[in-house]
Structure 1
């Protein structure tokens, strides 16, 4: 079975066209080699799929006859993805959501003041003092 069809039938990608594009972009590796969409998949092949900044690793156990249900996917592959890959993705999510929620728009006046105060800090003497004539 072709690799793009295998990835589609084991529900790694929603359509075969998306799986084909991932192969063309070099996001799919079989036994540490970047592959074309037409590459045949055999049992015991080790596949690495880079999707959403996570490298999913799995071993092919069997070839499905066609697209299978989500509950039956584990019959055809053995997932060997390390847990660190998922933990790294969670940390990325926290760092993105830490300061500003998505869609909050431009920085407020207070945000701009905080940014300028941060940028004006002198690393040796501490914060720069402001007077009427300017900075000291």
Structure 2
């Protein structure tokens, strides 16, 4: 399954064009390698996404072509979530 479709179906990112844009800017890593939106995702892959000042690491548990909102969280496990503070200038 394509990365952008996985992010949308799992509801990690709500819209596929947004997932594509984030991936194509190099802000997503799969197994510690920069991933494009067309990169294939497989069960067991580790995904790291940088959202501004937040970095989320996920493990892919399941692949589905479509899901209900309640079942979307079963597609991945959150491994870690870190917040970084930006330097403040006085």
Indicate the TM-score class for this superposition, using the shorter chain for normalisation.
0.7 to 0.9
Corresponding position of 1:37:
37
Q: Deviations over 1:27-51 (max 9, x none)?
A: 1100000011111100000000111
Runs of 4 or more above 3 Å deviation: none
- TM-score where L is the length of structure 1: 0.58
| Aligned alpha-carbon RMSD (Å) | 1.8
Kept in 2, the 8 Å contact 1:8–1:67? The answer is no
| 3-state SS of 1:81 partner | strand
Q: Partners of 1:22 and 1:68 in 2: how far apart?
A: 24
- In structure 1, list runs of 5 or more residues that go unmatched: 96-136
Return the structure number with greater strand share.
Answer: 2
Q: How does 1:1-136 map to 2 (within 5 A)?
A: 1-69=1-69, 71-82=70-81, 85-86=82-83, 88=84
* Structure whose CA Rg is larger: 1
Q: Deviations over 1:31-88 (max 9, x none)?
A: 000011111100000000111311110100010221441x322311011114xx14x5
**Structure ranking higher on relative contact order (CA contacts 8 Å, 6+ apart):** 2
Number of matched pairs: 87
Q: Partners of 1:2 and 1:68 in 2: how far apart?
A: 19
- In structure 2, list runs of 5 or more residues that go unmatched: none
- TM-score where L is the length of structure 2: 0.85
